[in-house]
Amino acid sequence: MNNVNIKIALDFLLENNKIGKSDAIEIISFITKIEYSEVLFSQEKVLNKNQFKKIIKISKKLAKGKPLAYILGYKIFRNHKILVNKNTLIPRMETELIVDYVNEFINSQNEKISVLDLCCGSGCIGISIAIENKERIEKVTFSDISKKALNITSKNIENNNLVNCTKVVKSDFLNSIIKQQNKFNILVCNPPYIDLNDIDVDKMTKKYEPKLALFAKDNGLFFYKEAIKNIDKFMDITKNILIVFEIGWKQEKELDVFLKQELGLKYKWKFEKDYFNNLRYLILTK
């Protein structure tokens, strides 16, 4: 096919794949190296043969169900480019809201803040916090059990010039973190939370994304309970603290019962909704 311009390529992608316009623009931007925001203003620009071949190749992979982020090797998260690969979960839109809660808390504090991003995967949450609060952050510590995921976290740290205000720790959940005796003002954590027996998991998620990132024991509640039981051991409870967990949309009731039993009146907590009106965040303060 000769003289394929960007408009034709966009139409081709949208007609042949179940993707939205923003993803189609992202693909064109990736192939042509034209800024995302400039793509729609460059629709008459003719692609060379090689560029259109690459678009067809991407389209074929998408048709097989491979997620776009794994094809491109990155996902845009709160406007930040976050590298991903098959060892990391693809950052989700709803996870972006965690950073809003954190930013609000940081803005209300006078001292520099130490943050722990537990089960960090690509590091999307902690990277965003570090970029968006550069002046007010003491350190962001990233932790995950997967060395391969942490390699990607480290690349994201380097790409965003955050080496000086970050630390990466391989840890089976809180084990090494507690041993290192560091205490944090903020915990953000989007742990695996799908029940091992859940049969409703999206087929493509199950096929392409790391199992380690998805499933947890105890009806999916294992990691929340472990963190809550150990708050005093890794959070700096002499000061204000903030804990934000992403949770599954059916986990609020069971978690609330557990929190009442475990914490009583010692801490305050609330559940907040995502863009789709589901209770998806557990927010805990002193």
Contact residues: ligand SAM, CB under 6 A = 89, 91, 95, 119-122, 124-125, 144-146, 149, 172-173, 190-192, 212-213
Helix/strand/coil for 18: coil
Of 95 and 166, the one with the shorter C-beta distance to ligand SAM is: 95
Paired residues of 76 in beta bridges: 81
Helix/strand/coil for 183: coil
Of 67 and 191, the one with the shorter C-beta distance to ligand SAM is: 191
Of 67 and 121, the one with the shorter C-beta distance to ligand SAM is: 121
Smallest distance from ligand SAM to CB 182, Å: 16
Going by their DSSP bridges, the two strands 279-285 and 137-144 should be labelled as: unpaired
Going by their DSSP bridges, the two strands 194-195 and 215-216 should be labelled as: parallel
Distance CA 127, CA 104 (A): 16
CA 188 to chain centre: 11
Smallest distance from ligand SAM to CB 115, Å: 13
Smallest distance from ligand SAM to CB 47, Å: 33
Question: CB neighbours (10 Å) of residue 49?
Answer: 10
Residue facing ligand SAM at closest CB distance: 121
Of 51 and 226, the one with the shorter C-beta distance to ligand SAM is: 226
Smallest distance from ligand SAM to CB 173, Å: 4
Of 135 and 202, the one with the shorter C-beta distance to ligand SAM is: 202
Smallest distance from ligand SAM to CB 79, Å: 16
| DSSP E strands, 31-128 | 74-77, 80-83, 113-118
Smallest distance from ligand SAM to CB 31, Å: 25
Paired residues of 130 in beta bridges: none
User: Over the range 137-147, which residues count as b (16 or more CB within 10 Å of their CB) and which as e?
Assistant: bebbbbbbebe
Smallest distance from ligand SAM to CB 224, Å: 12
Of 17 and 153, the one with the shorter C-beta distance to ligand SAM is: 153
Of 17 and 146, the one with the shorter C-beta distance to ligand SAM is: 146
CB 189, CB 120: distance < 8 Å? no
Burial of residue 180, with CB atoms counted within 10 A of its CB: 0-12 exposed, 13-18 middle, 19 or more buried: middle
